[in-house]
Amino acid sequence: MLCRSFRGNPQEATYYIYNPTTNQYRLLPAMQGSDDPSWDSRIIFDVKLAFDPSKSPHYKVICISHNIDLPDHYQMEVYSSKTGSWKPSGSPFTGPDDARFSNGVYWNGAIHWFNILGVSLRFDIEEEQFREIPMPTFRGDLRYRHFEESGGHLYLMEVSDSDTSLYDVYEMARDMSGWFLKYKVDFHPIAAVFPEMLYGSDDIYRYTYTILGVIQEKTDDDSFLVLHIPNKKAIWYNFKDASFTMFHDFASLYTQVVSGVGRDIGRVFLFLDQRKIGSLEYCDTYQFIESFACV
């Protein structure tokens, strides 16, 4: 896990690599030039962990930043666990006018940035090169989308109709040539049991649930989706037959944490063990409050 901590200014964050299976962490060194006064002119857009244990025990961390004094000029920096240091990746470059470098996803050797209104890009870790990502044809609005990697697959979900309970789930081809429709999802049966997950009748943005993740198992028949709904429940939704089950209730934990800190914690992050959740045994949760946030 790549984590960060900061007080006040996120641009002055400290970054850590944390292994939840061993409970050990490594503090990453400061980026080159962070002690220079000109650093105050930089804005960090995204910092992402690139790690594939099937290929190497080593990992890299990718940072993309922007100099506010040089419009549309970006700089990539790469930290390597092998060398223990940061290095610039090439020279500052001019990005597309509509570039959006936030909430990147690591998959298939590259960091991918999904852009609703413009060009979507990926950064190849080994070649240190940018390439454009082909995207499905979407409606020209800001309807809800979910973008993530799971089990070696890259997924993109979007509302498929004016009804925010209907989704199309796309998967990227392994050769990154384009997307294909993998699943169609209907949350109406879940909303019938848990009506608090939707509100209103005419507003297109009438969802109050959160899609926590797509869990890709060894076979598509066993793969599922995890939802979090406002009354602090986690729902397991099977893609194949549209069955669903509430597998965890966070109500007591949420009440305990809120009473302990005297305020809403804002976010709860779930780390899902596919085998244990698949058999509905239990779900481990870790909570990062205030200055400790998952990147």
- Model confidence pLDDT, tens digit, residues 46-55: 899 999 888 8
Structure tokens that stand for 194 in this block: 């848990």
**Which of 12-26, 124-138, 140-154, 161-175 shows the highest mean pLDDT?**
12-26
**DSSP output for 18-33:** EETTTTEEEEPPPPTT
Report the side by side order of strands in the sheet with 73-80: 42-50, 60-67, 73-80, 85-94
When divided into structural domains, the chain yields a total of 1
Q: Is residue 61 part of a domain?
A: yes
pLDDT of residue 237: 92
Q: Is residue 141 part of a domain?
A: no
Q: Which residue has the tokens 């964050």?
A: 13
Q: Is residue 279 part of a domain?
A: no
Q: What's the mean pLDDT in 166-189?
A: 89
User: Given a cut of 90, is residue 2 above it in pLDDT?
Assistant: yes
User: Given a cut of 50, is residue 127 above it in pLDDT?
Assistant: yes
User: Given a cut of 80, is residue 233 above it in pLDDT?
Assistant: yes
Cβ–Cβ under 8 Å, residues 84 and 62: no
Cβ–Cβ under 8 Å, residues 42 and 11: yes
For residue 89, give its domain range. 1-131
Q: What's the mean pLDDT in 77-83?
A: 93
On average, the pLDDT of the chain sits at 76
Any idea what DSSP says for residue 198? B
pLDDT digits (tens, 9 = 90+) for 189-219: 988 888 877 765 555 446 678 888 888 888 8
Q: Is residue 231 part of a domain?
A: no
Which of 273, 272, 270 minimizes the C-alpha distance to 294? 270
First to last CA, the chain: 8
Q: Is residue 52 part of a domain?
A: yes
Which of 67, 23, 28, 32 minimizes the C-alpha distance to 49? 28
pLDDT digits (tens, 9 = 90+) for 261-283: 333 333 333 443 333 333 333 33
pLDDT of residue 18: 93
Q: Is residue 157 part of a domain?
A: no
Higher pLDDT, 7 or 214: 214
Which of 115, 14, 12 minimizes the C-alpha distance to 2? 14
pTM of the predicted model over 0.85? no
**Which of 86-95, 144-153, 264-273 shows the highest mean pLDDT?**
144-153
Percent of the chain's residues with pLDDT above 90? 21
Neighbouring C-beta atoms of residue 116, cutoff 10 Å: 15
pLDDT of residue 205: 46
pLDDT of residue 36: 57
pLDDT of residue 160: 75
Q: How many helices and strands (H and E) does the chain possess? A: 3, 22
Q: Is residue 295 part of a domain?
A: no
Q: Is residue 150 part of a domain?
A: no
Q: What's the mean pLDDT in 138-148?
A: 68
pLDDT band at 33 (very low <50, low <70, confident <90, very high): low
